[in-house]
Amino acid sequence: MAAGLGAESDHQQQKIIADFDPQKKPPKRNKYAFACAILASMTSTLLGYDIGVMSGAAIFIKEDLKISDVQVELLAGTINIYSLIGSAAAGKTSDWIGRRYTIVIAGAIFFAGALLMGFSTNYAFLMVGRFVAGIGVGYALMIAPVYTAEVSPASSRGYLTSFPEVFINGGVLLGYVSNFAFSKLSLRLGWRMMLGIGAVPSVFLALIVLVMPESPRWLVMQGRLADAKKVLDKTSDSKEEALQRLADIKEAVRIPPECNDDVVAVPKNGRNGEAVWKELLLHPTKSVRHILIVGVGIHFFQQASGIDAVVLYSPRIFEKAGITSKNEKLLATIAVGVTKTIFILVATFLLDRIGRRPLLLSSVGGMIISLATLGFSLTIIDHSQKKLTWAVGLAITTVMSFVAFFSIGLGPIAWVYSSEIFPLKLRAQGMSMGVAVNRLTSGIIGITFISLYKAMTIGGAFFLFTGIALVSFVFFHTCFPETQGRNLEDVEGLFGNFHWLRDSKAAKKTARASAAKNQSNGDASSASNVQLVGRGVTNGNN
């Protein structure tokens, strides 16, 4: 038994050493899996657009409908509460009709919500539209990362599974641009166009499903092995990997390895159902409990750090910083959107090169510094009798640095990590719980931010977010094993103990020593070669 554990530990160390090998080549990109990830992740544009467009539309809605700050908070934040319904329903729906058609449902519901908001005549009508759109957002948020993780090969899963966050950021930027473009229209028409135009991408999203394959893991859960194999052959880096992925999924669903028919009967305990929730919440194993805490925790801290306060209320933050012109505030928000989009694109290239854990810890460290500096600069501005240009510049710069650090790490990693750590039979429900916590936390921040900064000053609000980010850093450092390069079916073995932390430190130390030794040997070899060449030249001259 001890020998077995020792062998497993040695195997894990070798895997970690390989992951930290500085000479390891970047992973190749499977073009078909890349296309699937792009198409599925486009659903996340719906949420991003809604967040971005509401930041500016709220200025004009308040003026047109004569609503209070509390009503503005409810308008901006409640869509995230409503999305809980969608994310809760999406897990069961995706197991029932498949991942593909769940994307169609997400697009159809958001389409209806966007039309209702665009044609709303009063605040109550507008809130009905927000409710419907929120359900569509919940569906989209849950299904995009799950589908992408399930079609992606292990070598590029982090890269591909970060795409939903890329499209959220792209949607935010589109929302900001829409605000600026339609702000030139009349007061009554402008904000309605901002909200109603969101129906257009949802129609496109519902149509692209026709060219997408179904998730191979869902196909195996239905016993459709031949169909699953076809998809795996296209989305894997090699035929051998496709066969291994199929074998791993069959094992997870409890289909005997010798079953190779095109269609097979799936054991009842291999299907998701009521027993899944019991295993996830009531009787979890040690590893599942650890996974649940981590999967839910990362979504909580992603939003509790205050990102949606910055994105939703950036015009108000810039106003507090000293920017009073509507046009200038909207242009500043576009700069926020551009910054977020650029850095999320950078993150996609780093996730499978340097890993989730180092990128996450670096990201949160930068967020802590940015939030503390933003709180300091806004406090100075609040207590100054005259305009301090340096403080205004510092506040704007730290808003940009905060969204940059968020987008390069915590933003995409929350979706990547939570979509890959849950075992197959728990994945849809586990991801639904993560999305639910994400949206609930975001909703609370959105609904309370204006009241919060009025109660404790805007600088104090960002000092509070700084404290939350500090707690998250400790949580991530303590609880998060590295999952880079692992097959989805192997990830569960990393959880349930802290051996991974010990092994990771030991492996890093060994890897550095090995790299130093190789470098030393290389230098010695080079020196020897130089000497030999020198001797050869001398002999030749003689």
- Tens of pLDDT along 98-111? 888 898 888 899 99
- Per the rule left: phi > 0, alpha: psi between -120 and 50, beta: everything else, 96 is alpha
Query: Nearest CA to 438 among 86, 171, 60?
Result: 86
- Mean pLDDT to the nearest integer, 316-342: 85
Return the minimum-mean-pLDDT range out of 28-37, 157-166, 293-302: 157-166
Residue 83, in any domain of the structure: yes
* Arithmetic mean of pLDDT over the chain: 81
> In the numeric block, which tokens belong to residue 440?
């609930």
What residues make up the domain containing 362? 27-266+279-494
What Cα–Cα distance (Å) separates residue 422 from each residue in 252, 357, 433? Answer: 12, 17, 11
Of 386-400, 419-433, 507-521, the least confident:
507-521
Give the separation between CA 282 and CA 463, rounded to whole angstroms.
37
Average the pLDDT over 415-419 and give the result: 82
Residue 511 forms part of a structural domain: no
Say whether pLDDT at 379 is over 80: yes
> Cβ(148)–Cβ(419) under 8 Å?
yes
Residue 22 domain-assigned? no
CATH of the domain at 95: 1.20.1250.20
Higher-pLDDT residue of 379 and 529 is 379
Helix (H) or strand (E) holding 430: helix 424-456
Instruction: Tell me whether residue 15 is in a domain.
Output: no
Question: Is 89 part of a structural domain of the chain?
Answer: yes
Q: Residue 475's pLDDT is what? A: 94
Most confident among 103-117, 266-280, 313-327 (mean pLDDT) = 103-117
Q: Alpha-carbon distance 43 to 49, whole Å?
A: 11
- Is 247:257 a contact under the CB 8 Å cutoff? yes
In a domain, 218, yes or no: yes
Count of domains forming the chain: 1
CB 51 within 8 A of CB 287: no
**Given a cut of 50, is residue 51 above it in pLDDT?**
yes
Query: And the tokens for 522?
Result: 């290389």
Three-state DSSP at 263 gives strand
Residue 515 belongs to a domain: no
What pLDDT shows up at residue 519?
A: 59
pLDDT of the residue at 117? 92
Kindly state the average pLDDT of the residues 466-488: 87
Q: Higher pLDDT residue, 370 or 38?
A: 370
Give the torsion sign (CA, 392, 396, 398, 399).
positive
User: Within 13 A of 342's CA, how many CA atoms are on the CB side?
Assistant: 11
314: in domain: yes
